[in-house]
């Protein structure tokens, strides 16, 4: 009788667990559906005319010439992996339907990132933590503005970054290497994941699988690189030339990046020799962030270090665009679920970042996305720009302080093995 009673209890507990799991899964599905609806509504506006037109032009060009003929005919896109998304759209749609299709690219990648953040948050703080992490990203105003409203594709690279970090934290080094290289080939500023993966593997203690992990990550990275570049007919030197030409054309202290460079020099002012100081500061910021992997090399540590590098990419070098901060929102979300003291700085960072994006949508050259009265435009320029820049830097500093406390207080719990 006792065995039968125990078996009955076990069956009841199993059913309760399954019911709870189904409840959580249903909430995730509803959350994703709600996020989809928000984005479809957000697409009702005009979007960033200049960026959408450029993406549509690339789509038409690669559709007309094929992947192998795009660069041969003088194509100039430095978003190599994105061409594989634009190519079928250019084949299927003409303008103006093509504009809408290009704007919609970010939506599935936003939803994918939300699902991955649920997995990461659940691993760190249980099912409720997973739901919180996903919601903080999916319904973040900055994320919606940069994607569905604007029409840009930062969500594509962010999805690759998040996936690669989850992979490396769970020991799937080939997958991590592949996704980190794909992220770079979406946009060069998404090298965040590659830096974290390399730092994590190189900082391992001897005997911790360092050599094999590095080798597997390299194999995955090389495979992804070849899969993208070979059909495009690009040699490594040609790729570097494309990236270099793109950087040279944007040699400004700030390209609507609300950092110290933008505050001091304004937007679209030549950076001159300051570019070297910016690069030195970026290198110092990246290395300093990677050093924290000694304290914590688990999933939380990997996301925390990646977040700090994302801040470094936005705040330290010159030539920064307004959306370079985008991946930081996704990278901090799971840590908010784990450490609630990060919630207020996260909200502050998201809110001020949203204001900076709104500024560019209103005042940016070739934007035309949002019309406001001339008086409001003047207020946005002054005192709007300096106030937003100072507030954004303060919010980022608040996040850094709270994250440093997290590493200092809890870091010894999960050092690199």
User: Mean per-residue pLDDT for 156-180?
Assistant: 97
Tokens 């940069």 sit at which residue? 146
Q: Is the pLDDT of residue 342 over 50?
A: yes
Sole residue written with tokens 């502050």: 348
Average pLDDT over residues 29-48: 94
Residue whose entry in the numeric block shows the structure tokens 């962030």:
289
- Cα–Cα distance measured from residue 302 to residue 297, given in angstroms and rounded to the nearest whole number: 6
Q: How many CA atoms lie within 13 A of 92 on its CB side?
A: 11
Residue 19 has pLDDT above 70, yes or no: no
Contact 283, 304 (CB under 8 A): no
Q: Where are the domains of the chain?
A: 22-413
| Least confident span in 88-92, 200-204, 237-241, 255-259 | 200-204
Q: How far apart are CA 353 and CA 322, in angstroms?
A: 9
The pLDDT value recorded for residue 374 is 65
The pLDDT of residue 162 is above 90: yes
* Per-residue pLDDT, 366: 58
The token pair that represents 68 in the structure block: 């192998």
Helices 106-138/2-42 angle, 10° precision: 120
Instruction: Select from 342, 385, 340, 339 the least CA-distant residue to 362.
Output: 385
256 beta partners: 321
At 299, the pLDDT band (50, 70, 90 cuts) reads very high
What percent of the chain has pLDDT above 70? Answer: 88
Alpha helices in 139-191 (DSSP H): 141-144, 154-169, 173-186
Least reliable range by pLDDT among 121-125, 202-206, 271-275: 202-206
Q: Rounded CA gap, 136 and 153, in Å?
A: 19
CA distance 401 to 399: 6
Q: How confident is the model at residue 417 (pLDDT cuts 50, 70, 90)?
A: very low
Q: What are 352-369's pLDDT values in tens digits?
A: 999 999 999 988 655 556
Instruction: Say if residues 337 and 124 touch (Cβ distance below 8 Å).
Output: yes
- What confidence category does residue 120 fall into, taking pLDDT thresholds of 50, 70 and 90? very high
Nearest by Cα to 317 from 356, 365, 278 = 278
The reported pLDDT for the residue numbered 13 is: 39
pLDDT in tens, 54-84: 999 999 999 999 999 999 998 889 899 999 9
pLDDT of residue 11: 54
Say what the pLDDT of residue 60 is.
97
The pLDDT of residue 242 is above 90? no
Instruction: Name the residue among 360, 366, 347, 367 with its Cα closest to residue 389.
Output: 360
Which residues neighbour 330 within 8 Å (Cβ) at sequence distance 6 or greater? 113, 117, 137, 143, 158, 161, 162
**Entry pTM:** 0.91
**Region 7-32 average pLDDT:** 66
Rounded Cα gap, residues 152 and 146, in angstroms? 6
According to DSSP, the residues that pair with 270 across neighbouring strands are 252
pLDDT value of position 213:
84
Percent of the chain scored above 90 by pLDDT?
A: 73
pLDDT, greater one: 378 or 124: 124
Average predicted confidence (pLDDT) for the chain: 90
Q: Is the pLDDT at 265 greater than 80, yes or no? A: yes
Confidence of residue 25 (pLDDT cuts 50, 70, 90): confident
Tell me how crowded residue 96 is: count the other CB atoms within 10 A of its CB. 10
Residues in the chain: 417
What DSSP string runs through 235-249? Answer: -HHHHHHHHHHHHHH
The mean pLDDT of 30-41, rounded to a whole number, is 97
Q: What gap in Å lies between CA 112 and CA 120, rounded to an integer?
A: 12
């Amino acid at each position: 009788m006792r065995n039968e009673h125990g078996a009955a209890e076990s069956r009841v507990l199993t059913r309760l667990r399954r019911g709870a799991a189904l409840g959580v899964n249903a909430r995730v599905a509803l959350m994703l559906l709600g996020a989809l609806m928000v984005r479809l509504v957000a697409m009702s506006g005009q979007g960033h005319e200049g960026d959408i037109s450029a993406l549509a032009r690339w789509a038409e060009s690669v559709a007309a010439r094929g992947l192998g003929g795009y660069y041969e005919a003088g194509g100039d896109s430095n978003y190599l992996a994105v061409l594989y998304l634009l190519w079928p759209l250019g084949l299927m749609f003409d303008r103006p339907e093509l504009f809408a299709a290009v704007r919609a690219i970010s939506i599935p990648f936003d939803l994918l990132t939300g699902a991955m953040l649920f997995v990461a948050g659940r691993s760190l703080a249980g099912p409720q933590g997973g739901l919180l992490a996903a919601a903080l990203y999916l319904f973040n105003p900055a994320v919606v503005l940069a994607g569905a409203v604007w029409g840009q594709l930062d969500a594509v690279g962010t999805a690759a970054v998040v996936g690669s970090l989850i992979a490396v934290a769970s020991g799937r080094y080939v997958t991590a290497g592949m996704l980190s290289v794909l992220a770079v080939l979406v946009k060069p500023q998404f090298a965040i994941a590659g830096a974290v993966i390399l730092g994590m593997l190189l900082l391992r203690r001897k005997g911790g699988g360092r050599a094999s992990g590095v080798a597997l990550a390299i194999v995955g990275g090389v495979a992804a690189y070849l899969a993208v570049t070979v059909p495009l007919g690009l040699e490594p030197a040609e790729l570097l030339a494309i990236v270099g030409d793109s950087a040279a054309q944007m040699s400004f202290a700030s390209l609507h990046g609300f950092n110290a460079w933008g505050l001091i020099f304004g937007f679209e002012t030549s950076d001159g020799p300051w570019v070297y100081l910016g690069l030195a500061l970026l290198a110092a910021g990246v290395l300093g962030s990677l050093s924290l992997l000694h304290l914590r090399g688990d999933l939380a540590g990997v996301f925390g270090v990646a977040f700090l590098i994302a801040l470094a990419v936005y705040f330290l070098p010159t030539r920064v665009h307004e959306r370079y901060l985008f991946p930081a929102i996704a990278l901090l979300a799971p840590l908010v679920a784990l450490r609630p003291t990060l919630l207020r700085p996260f909200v502050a960072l998201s809110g001020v970042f949203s204001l900076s994006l709104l500024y560019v949508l209103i005042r940016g050259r070739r934007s035309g996305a949002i019309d406001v009265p001339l008086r409001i435009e003047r207020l946005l320029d002054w005192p709007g720009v300096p106030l937003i820049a100072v507030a954004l830097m303060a919010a980022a500093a608040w996040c850094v302080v709270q994250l440093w406390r997290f590493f200092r207080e809890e870091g010894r719990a999960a050092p690199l093995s």
